[in-house]
Amino acid sequence: MERGFGALGLLTLEILVPTFRRPIFLRRLLSSLKSQRHRSFKVFVSDNGCSRASAWPVVCEFLDDLDIRYVTQLNELPVRAHFNYLLQFSGERFVTFISDDDILFSNYVCEFYRMLEEQPGNIMFGQRTLGVCSELNSVVSPPVRRFREGP
């Protein structure tokens, strides 16, 4: 596991995971997050439109291994509205949305911090994930710098 971010100080990437009644896919994603070599990240899972909390048993499997939070959205939201709903819980400078059906390479977080160190002024950092449903084609899911008012 890597730690230390050079001149950047301590930063944390927040990984926002919208999910919709797909616990098998979510388990694969969370397993890929557990295998990350760099552990400076938080995970926030939002179960969209599910009063049964279908993702909660899966999230519980990873509570000891990941810095993970969970919320249930009872009324099903359209995809973009669900992303915005999830974004309101983010408190970090850098966020990324990862679909529950993605699998991350084990260096996903390492690459983000490496690129941030090399180009600290960048707004978006290109990353790749494996899309389970897309016959292993790479899809871009880049972390982005979050702009806020004030200091």
Percent of the chain with pLDDT over 70: 72
The pLDDT score that the predictor gives to residue 10 is: 64
Residue type present at position 10? L
- The DSSP element (H or E) to which 87 belongs, if any, is helix 79-87
Whole-angstrom distance, CA of residue 104 vs CA of residue 1: 16
In tens, the pLDDT along 62-81 reads 999 999 999 888 888 888 88
Residue with tokens 């997050």: 33
In tens, the pLDDT along 116-147 reads 888 777 666 655 443 333 344 333 445 555 44
Rounded to two decimals, the pTM is: 0.77
In tens, the pLDDT along 10-29 reads 678 899 999 988 899 999 99
The residues, any chain, with a CB within 8 Å of residue 42's CB and separated by 6 or more, are 12, 13, 14, 15, 67, 68, 69, 92
